[in-house]
Structure 1
Amino acid sequence: MKVKKRFIAGATCPECQKLDVMKLYKENGVEKVECVACGHTMTQPKDAVQASTRQFEQVIGVFTPE
Structure 2
Amino acid sequence: MTNKQRRRFIAGATCPECKALDTISLYFENNVEKLECVACGYQESQTEDSVKSQTREAESVIGIFKPE
Same fold, TM-score > 0.5, yes or no? yes
Give the fraction of aligned pairs with identical amino acids, expressed as a percent: 58
CA distance in 2, matches of 1:20, 1:42: 16
Q: TM-score normalised to the size of structure 2?
A: 0.66
Opposite residue 10 of structure 1, the aligned amino acid is G
Segments of structure 2 that go 5 or more residues without pairing to the other structure are 51-68
Query: Counting helix residues as a fraction of each chain, which structure ranks higher?
Result: 2
Larger radius of gyration: 2
Segments of structure 1 that go 5 or more residues without pairing to the other structure are 50-66
Opposite residue 22 of structure 2, the aligned amino acid is D
The structure 1 residue matched to 2:44, chosen from 30, 37, 42, is: 42
Superposition map of 1:3-18 within 5 A: 3-18=5-20
Superposition map of 1:21-60 within 5 A: 21-45=23-47, 47-48=48-49
Q: TM-score normalised to the size of structure 1?
A: 0.67
